[in-house]
Each structure stands twice: as structure tokens, then as C-alpha cells.
Structure 1
Amino acid sequence: MIEQKLQEFKVGGLNVHVLPSKTYKTNTLLLHARSPLTKDTVTYRALLPYVLQSGTKEYPSRQEFRKALDDLYGATLNVDVSKKGEYHMMTFKMEVANEKFLADDRPLLERGLDLFSSVILSPNVSDNAFDSSVVEGEKRTLRQKITSVYDDKMRYANMRLTEEMCEDEPFGIFVNGQEEDVTKITDVSLYEYYQEALKSDQLDLYIVGDVEVSVMEQLVKKYFQGIEEGSRNNTIEAQQKQIDQPREIIEEQDVQQGKLHMGYRTNTTYEHEDYFALQLFNGIFGGFSHSKLFINVREKASLAYYAASRVESHKGLLIVMSGIESNKFEKATTIIKEQMDQMKQGNFTDEDLEQTKAVLKNQLLETMDVPRGFIELEYHNELTSNKRYVAKWITEIDKVTKDDVVRVANKVQLDTVYFLKGKEEAANE
């Protein structure tokens, strides 16, 4: 377990969160840059982190930058883009060895923080533009990412369900942007967007490891002093939608295995007191291997190659995913709906609830054992006004009763059923 609480302070426009901990063998630096999801900016944001990690002012080429990482005893840098609720996130993560375990007494973490800050604040720029060859190379890679979703039919079905279910909401925007928008981005326009994002994004820097808070405060002030206070994006509420009648979308492609994805509105988010009851509901319904979906849809009825559910905590969605033969659509949807009805009626045992609590708590402890996992759990608190400290999560899970789970289940509404079926099988029906 974590032995200390997160310590927080501000440096200009940067929110800093420090966890002094001897639990982890490395020191982790992670920066989340958050902005509302919009069609106008999503493709820029999907491209920008990958351009930034390709070189800095001091180390302009990939080779020079990778050598600088190697010189820090093999430090690693990774970037990513993701969606959380109605937000689009750019994430930068560096892991540096704990200098206390090394014979070299040079300030390794400080050098790491210097290099990490330069990725974000001192990119390889000339004449108010990024390096055009780097931008063009990353644009090619981004196009491949966008088109590759069509080859992974599970991801494709999930994308299509989200697009249909949230067509008039920011959450319906694809995380990697649009292929046609990639072409429009230039080395100049991307640099202009970078400057805008640096001024307006909500920026949260996490430092986790064997560190002292006072020392970290001095170092962050030294290396991140270029971030102005400015006007930062505030927390936005997840949009709620009234469901009159569930929609059914059926597409045909040349696929061997049909993909049945069902989207529900939970009407419960991280903000709500019922959040932990929702997590237990999902665990019993479809989140774990002892769940109703796994046992009844996959094992007993043999209707699906896989059947599971997951929750989007900040948007208030529950997504059911299953892979089925195309002629099993009616049977599979019926039995999935039956499992939901069983949950609403409270037809699960105290043993089911206790087993799910045990699995959820074990999953939570495993997540906290990894710095990135701990940071992601804590970061929930930056997306809502309802702060919950991770150390208390297990107590909150234990408090949940069967009545709490049933109450949460009865708030869940089916919104959209999306089915990707095989053409050949469709023709034989």
C-alpha cells in the first residue's frame, strides 16, 4: 500500500502532484495535458505529442534525443493520447532509475526532469515551425493508426457504437482524429496549435518515487518556469441524455465473427456517491470472469466467443462487448438483456457481491503497485469536484450493499445496439 499521501502545489499554470514513496524502484514523471474534446482540435492533439518526443532544441534529432535518454541510465519516454469523459488527453511519461541505487552520484532525477521539461517547453523549432520532415513522418504514422482501426473489428465496432450513441456529443469523436484533417496540418499550423495548447490546457505533473517534496518544488520551479498561469480549461460536466427508445444499428462487412456491442447510459459517474456501487454492479454483470455475461452468455449458452462489459467512469457509459456468429444476434441480445434485468431485480447472491468485492480490491491493489496505475487512479480527482483519496477506496468498496447495487442497476438504460455482421452469413439467413 501507499505509505504517504499525495502532496500538491502550483508552479505558474502547472498543477504539481508529488508522491514520496519507497515502494517503487524507479522515479516516474508524468504530465497530463487536458482539453475539451472538439472536432477542430482532436487531430492536432493526436499528432502533437509524437512530434514533441522526436527531438528538442538541445537534442534536435531522434538519435540525439535517444542517446540523451540512454545517458540517464536508460531512462524511457512514452507519449499517448486518450479520452476521459468529454476531455482529450495528451500524456507524457518518463521513468528514471533511482539514483540512490547507483554508484554515480550525479543528480539523475534532476537531469531527467530537465530533459522531460525540454520535450514540452523547448521543442525543435525554427522560424515558428516544427521540423517539416518530422511532422510529415508523424502524419503518415497517424494516418496508419486511424485506418488500422478498420482492421481490428472489435475496436472498429466500439468506435462505431460510440459514434452512433454519442453522435451529438463530444465523446463521439474518435480519439485519433479524422484522416482528412491530418492532411491539412502543416509544420507551421501545428506549432501555432502547440503554443495555444500550452497556454490553455489544464496541465498536471505527477512525480512519484523516492523523492523529497521540497526538493521537487525547487526543481519544478527551475525547469517549468515557462508555463504561464493563464486561463486554463475548467472541469466540465458529462452531458446526460434522455433515452426514449433504444436504437439498433446493423452493418455488414466481410467478417468471420460478428461483433455485438451494446451501449448503456449508467446515469452514474465518478462524481456521484454511487460510483463504487456502479463498479460492483459492473463486476457482477460483466466485468469479471465470474460475471453473469461470462457465465450465461459465453459458458452456458455458448453464444459468444467472448462477452464482457466495461464502464466509462466520467461519461456515464456501460459498454457490453461480445463476439458472436452472425445468426446468433437475436439470441445473444435477448440473453444479455435478461442478465441486465436480473441485476435490476437483485437476482444475484451475497456470495456474488463478496467475490466481486474481493476481485475489485485485488485489482485496485495491483493497479496501485505500478506508478502509472496509481497516478491514473489519483487523476480521477482532477476531472471532478468530488475528491476521493485512493487510500480510502477499499473502505468505500467494502461499504457497498446489495441494495446499493440494485439501485445503481435500475438507473442503467439501454441506448444503442450496434451489430457488425458477416456478409455471407447475412445472405444465408
Structure 2
Amino acid sequence: MEDIHISSEELNGVHLHLYNTNKFKTVSIMLTMKSPLQESLITARALIPHILNGGSILYPNRKLIQQKLDKLYGATLLLDVQKKGEDHSIVFRMEIPADKFLDDSASLLKSSLELLHEIVYNPLIENGGFHSIIVEQEKRSLKQRIDSIHNEKMLYANVRLLEEMYKGEPYQIPAFGRKEDINSLDAISIYQAYENMLQTDRFDLFIVGEFNEDQVKLMVQNIFCEQHNNEFMKGFSSAGVTVNDIKVIQDKMDVKQGILLLGYRISSTIQDEDYEAARVANAIFGRFPSSKLFRNIREKESLAYFSHSQMESNKGLLIAMAGIDFIHYERVVEMIREQERAMKQGEFTEAEVEQGKGMLINLLLEAHDSPVGIMDIFIQSVDSGLSIDIHDQIQRISKISKADVICAAKKWKLDTIYFLNREE
């Protein structure tokens, strides 16, 4: 397996991360703007990337931006907002053909970076704010996206669990914001949030593909010439929050099967020493089809249509989930708690530990085979401060013992049980 050798440096306050490799025929670009979660800004920030993509000074509408992308040999541009731990990120992703595959003397990478800069830094402005027509259009679109969550029952249940589990904390708000906040936002207030983003966010630019590193560094220094903040402030932390009583929440909708979520505060994040042990514990508990939740609830008892668990690596959160018939609610809750107790009491074998570690290592190896996977590894390295070297990463997983897994599992505290039930 080829090692990932990343060149990282700060240029004008932008944190540039380069992985020069010939294993892909494309060059992938990702620009992230990260800020601590702030309840007053999340909804405005969720609108910002879509407003920026609605038109710039050189390309005053979405159609002209798309035409420019088409001229860049069909370059793609994707926008997103993400919530990771206590941070909120605005994300722009581009993918272009590598320059060496083109019969063109001009650098496609340079042109793509110029377009990305144009969209992010040169929006259409009127009367001290964003263009009002674009703003109103994107406000309507965001309302529609939020309304559509009711049709995606698993996503809806996840949003509701986090709202209840983290009530009173910034993390309770989805990355895409709240519908009730949209009407109070206008072209000026969103533009003020945008200016705040430029002044205070941490900017990371990731580029994966084949290129001349020195030339790319010079491109970035010349194109992203604004001076950015590099004193990133940490947001709210719930590390000291204690769980007293388990909250039990039920919503009722027109659904054909119940969706059950158990939210645990696990006190292990990517910054913690026992993070890999917690990952192995989750691998045994519910992460894979070989895990306890799937084998016992889905296969052995046939009580669930699906049953698994997932960790949020930046938050110290684990969610066990199952799709079930409504009459099986109490029994499935009981069985998930039984598997939780089994993890804490060490009722699993050394073979299960080795299998869990092996599957996590396979996921790591698979991530190295795609630009998106490599960028995710980049981000985890930035968040954790740990080595990105694949041998170091494998070693961190491989050295986990059964005792480490038990110790990590004992820190799990069930906070909230959420059930999406049917209407009477």
C-alpha cells in the first residue's frame, strides 16, 4: 500500500494540504471554511454556499457558472454544509481532469482554482448585502430541503434524536439550520454572516491528484491572496455533561415501520487516546453485519429489518439504531441494552476483537483508493493532530486489546431513547 505523503503549509492564512499522486486521472479540490457552532449563525451559514453559487461578479447567475464549469472540461462543483463535533463547516468540492491528460497549454487546475475563488470571494452585492433575488430563491429552496426531511424517515429520526439529546447545546441544531429561522434572515444579515466567515473561519484547501507542487503552491498564494484568520477558536464542549435520567422520546407519523434510536454519550472523540479502542468496541457492538446488534436482533431473533450502530468521531456520540415492527419496541430496546452490558462486561471473544480491528483496517485501506476517502483522512489528521501515515494508522488500530475495548465501552452512557412510532 502506497503511503500518503502530504505537503501542508499555511499561505496567506489558508491551510493548504497537497497529495501529489498519479493513481487518479482527476484532480480533486476541496475548500472548507470551519467555525465553532453558533446557534445564531447556523441557518445563515447553511444558505451562504448556495447564495455564492447563485452568481458572482464575473458569472452573474447559476447558468453562467455552469457554462464555465462545462468549458473546464466538464468540471464538477458540489456544495455542502457539515456539522462535525462542535464545528460547522461550509464545503466546496471540485473535480477536474488532470492537466497531463489534456491537449491544452493552459493549466486547468489554475483555471479551476480561479473559478472557485471567484465564487467564494466575489459574490453579487447590492445595497450592502447579497443580491436579494438570489437570497429569496435560496431561502425558498432551503425551506423545501428541510420540509423534504419528513419524507426521509431515517434522517428525520436522527435529527429529532440530536435535538432532544443535546437540547440547550449548539449541537442540537442540524447542519442545514432551522426552518423557523429562515424568514428572519435577509440579504444584509446573511451577508454579515458571510463577512464573519471570511474574517474568523479556518480555511483549509485540500488538493489530491497529479500536479507540480511548487507551481500549485504559487497558484494558491497568488489566487487566494486575502489574509485569513489563523487563530481558530474552539466552540462549546459537552465533555463535562453528565447523564442523570435517560430521556425517552416518541414521535408519531404515518410510517410503515418504527425507527428506534438509542443515543449514547461515549466520551471518546478523535482527539482522545482511547478513540481507536472505542471504534473497535463499536465494530463489535454494531458497526458491521458481523456485530452483536445484527447477529442477535436481526438474524437470531428476527426482530428488526436493520440493526447497527455508528459513531460521530468528533462529538463523543454513538447511536444504535433499528427498523422494527411497532409491537417489538420494548423487546428491541431491552436487547440493545443487553448487548451494551455485554460489551461493558467483556462478553465477547478475542476473535471478535481481531475481526473488528481487521474490518476497520479494511475500511482504511479502501479509503486510500478514492480522492474523497483520502480527503476524509486528511481532515481526520487535521482534527486529531495524528500521523496520516497508513502504517501508523494501522498500528494504532492493531495494538488495541480486549481490555482496552472493555475500558472504552464502560464509558458509554445512554442519554436518549427515540422512537418514531405510527399514528394511532
Tell me if TM exceeds 0.5: yes
Are 1:301 and 2:301 counterparts?
A: yes
Farther off after superposition, 34-43 or 369-378:
369-378
Q: Give 1:406 shift.
A: 1.1
- Structure 2 partner of 1:204: 204
In the other structure, the counterpart of 2:96 is 96
Distance 2:152 2:4 in 1: 42
Kindly indicate whether the alpha-carbon contact (under 8 Å) linking 1:238 and 1:316 is maintained by their aligned counterparts in 2. Answer: no
CA 1:200–1:254 in 2, change beyond 3 Å: closer, same or farther? same
Provide structure 1 residue ranges, at least 5 long, that are not aligned to the other structure: 425-429
Q: Give the deviation of 1:233 after TM superposition.
A: 2.8
Between the aligned partners of 2:316 and 2:19, the Cα distance in structure 1 is: 29
Following superposition, the deviation at residue 238 of structure 1 comes to 3.5
Q: Could you say what secondary structure the match of 2:22 adopts?
A: coil
- What residue number does 1:216 align with? 216
**Partners in 2 of 1:246 and 1:323 — Cα distance?**
21
Q: Distance in 2 between matches of 1:237 and 1:361?
A: 32
Aligned to 1:120: 120
1:11 Cα shift? 1.7
Q: Which amino acid aligns with 2:334?
A: T
Match of 2:136, as an amino acid?
E
Deviation, 1:212, is 2.5
For 1:168 and 1:367, the matched residues in 2 are separated by: 36
Equivalent residue pairs, number: 422
Structure 1 residue 267 displacement after superposition? 1.2
Aligned position for 2:263: 263
Instruction: After TM superposition, list the pairs within 5 Å mapping 1:106-185 onto structure 2.
Output: 106-185=106-185
| AA aligned opposite 1:382 | V
Correspondence for 1:400: 400
1:187-238 CA distances to partner (integer Å, 9 max, x unpaired)? 2222222112111111111111112322111101110002x24464324474
Structure 1 residues 174, 237: closer, same or farther in 2, change over 3 A? closer
Kindly indicate whether residue 282 of structure 2 is the aligned counterpart of residue 285 of structure 1. Answer: no
Output the amino acid matched with 1:272: D
* Matched position secondary structure for 2:218: helix
Identity of aligned residues (%): 39
Question: For each residue in 1:246-290, what CA deviation from the matched residue of structure 2 results, as whole angstroms up to 9, or x when unmatched?
Answer: 221223233221111100111111111111111111111000011
Query: How has the CA–CA distance of structure 1 residues 160 and 271 changed in structure 2, closer, same or farther, with 3 Å as cutoff?
Result: same
Partner of 2:69: 69
User: What is the CA-CA distance between 1:412 and the residue it aligns to?
Assistant: 0.9
What SS does structure 2 have at the residue aligned with 1:197? helix
| TM-score in terms of structure 1 length | 0.95
Secondary structure class of the residue paired with 1:414: strand
Q: 1:162 to 1:4 in 2, by over 3 A?
A: closer
Q: 1:381: Cα distance to partner?
A: 3.2
Q: Is the 8 A contact 2:198 2:228 kept in 1?
A: no
**In the aligned structure 2, how far is the partner of 1:311 from the partner of 1:418?**
17
Partner amino acid for 1:389?
Answer: I
Q: Post-superposition, which runs of at least 4 consecutive aligned residues in structure 1 deviate over 4 A?
A: none
Which residue number in structure 1 is paired with residue 24 of structure 2? Answer: 24
Q: Does structure 2 conserve the Cα–Cα contact (< 8 Å) formed by 1:2 and 1:21? A: no
Letter in 2 for 1:234: M
Give the deviation of 1:4 after TM superposition: 4.1
C-alpha separation in 1, matches of 2:179 and 2:190: 16
Cα distance in 1, alignment partners of residues 27 and 258 from structure 2: 44
Alignment of 1:353-364 (within 5 A): 353-364=353-364
C-alpha distance in 1, partners of 2:405/2:334? Answer: 22
Question: Using a 3 Å threshold, how does the CA distance of structure 1 residues 133 and 421 change in structure 2: closer, same or farther?
Answer: same
Gap change, CA 1:62 and 1:2, over 3 Å in 2: farther
Under a length normalisation based on structure 2, what TM-score does the superposition of the two structures give?
0.96
Aligned to 2:335: 335
Q: In 2, distance between residues paired with 1:121 and 1:159?
A: 32
- 1:238·1:314 contact (CA, 8 Å) conserved in 2? no
- Give the AA of the match of 1:17: H
SS at match of 1:415: strand
The CA deviation string for residues 314-350 of structure 1, in whole angstroms up to 9 with x for no partner, is 1101001111111111100111111111111211122
Aligned-partner residue type, residue 233 of structure 2: N
Q: CA RMSD in A?
A: 1.6
Indicate how the Cα distance of structure 1 residues 137 and 2 shifts in structure 2: closer, same or farther if over 3 A, else same: farther
Deviates more, 1:75-84 or 1:97-106: 97-106
3-state SS in 2 of match to 1:262: strand
Q: Deviations over 1:114-172 (max 9, x none)?
A: 11111111122244332222211111110011111222221111111111111022111
SS in 1 for 2:106: coil
Give the counterpart letter for 2:191 in structure 1: Y
Q: Alpha carbons of 1:237 and 1:188: their partners in 2 closer, same or farther (altered >3 Å)?
A: closer
Name the structure 2 match of 1:427.
none
Mapping for residues 186-265 of structure 1, pairs under 5 Å: 186-226=186-226, 228-230=227-229, 232-236=231-235, 238-240=237-239, 241-265=241-265
**Whole-angstrom distance in 2 between the partners of 1:356 and 1:381:** 22
CA distance in 2, matches of 1:54, 1:25: 29
Contact 1:6–1:19 (CA<8 Å) still a contact in 2?
Answer: yes
8 Å Cα contact 2:247-2:415 kept in structure 1? yes
Which letter does structure 2 place at the counterpart of 1:267? S
Deviates more, 1:302-311 or 1:366-375: 366-375
Q: Find the aligned partners of 2:310 and 2:389 in 1 and give their Cα distance.
A: 20
Is contact 2:5–2:389 with CA below 8 Å preserved after alignment?
A: no
**1:344 alignment partner in structure 2:** 344
Unaligned runs of 5+ in 2: none
